Amino acid sequence: MNYAPYAPPQHDQGPYGGGAYVQHVYRPLGWKTTVSIVGVAATVVLSFLQTGASLANPDLLKHPEENLGPILALGLLGLVTSVVAIGTYVFFLLWMHQAAKNVRAFGQVGLEYTPGWCVGWWFIPVASLWKPFTAMREIWKASDPDTVGPGAASHWMAAPVPATMGVWWGIYILNGFVGAGIALSSLDLSGAAKGVTVGPATFISHALLGIAGALLIMIMRQLAARQETAWQRLSNADRMPVATAATAPNPYTPNPYT
């Protein structure tokens, strides 16, 4: 168990904490970071491959009897893409949940988002447009190594946030609206599906997905490194020798030389 004496056990504070006493333990983000990064990269690549395959074979469904093999291959590629995307989403949320627990293990106080709500806000309609981003900002700020331990230079709330985080979230949200537009364009006026046509909007969506994925990979790697540095600082503080005050002479002790 990773424990530092300067990281007191934390309540899950904030308006959504529930008030239960929980002692959080620091755990490195290592393997969760690696799996999430691989998943993000694989999702982007597979999405491009799926779209490229659909564009290269636009008339497959017009003659299903003659193209059964390619149709099955394209369907399998789509299934693999969906499974990888869902798995990546799950591992990323596990990563974010642990990152939120780690900042509490650092002893940071005044946090708004509990580890549970750092995950939960992703599934709340409308609020999911900004709440996950503000939760990520809070984790980033509270992971600043200069704000942990007995010699903290400043409070975590004053820690800066890189512009790349805002760009990542803006592109992610924009891609969501583009994807919604593509889905709506595949419906006729009665609401029945009329099939999705691969076009410029699809490639724009994939380009946005690729940019957002690259920025997210950068953010995850940097945040994992920040938390490791913060924990090392706490651990080093634990090993520092404690200075002892000089003992003043006792005036009531007789001097044998007088």
pLDDT at residue 241, rounded to an integer: 53
User: By the 8 A CB rule, do 6 and 149 touch?
Assistant: yes
Question: What residues does each domain of the chain span?
Answer: 30-234
Confidence (pLDDT) at 64: 62
Which of the residues in the chain have pLDDT under 70? 1-22, 56, 58-67, 186-199, 237-258
User: In angstroms, how far apart are the furthest CA atoms of the chain?
Assistant: 117
Q: Write the pLDDT tens digit of every residue in 174-224.
A: 999 998 888 777 665 555 445 555 667 888 888 999 999 999 999 999 999
- The whole model's pTM is what? 0.79
**What's residue 58's pLDDT?**
64
| pLDDT value, residue 88 | 96
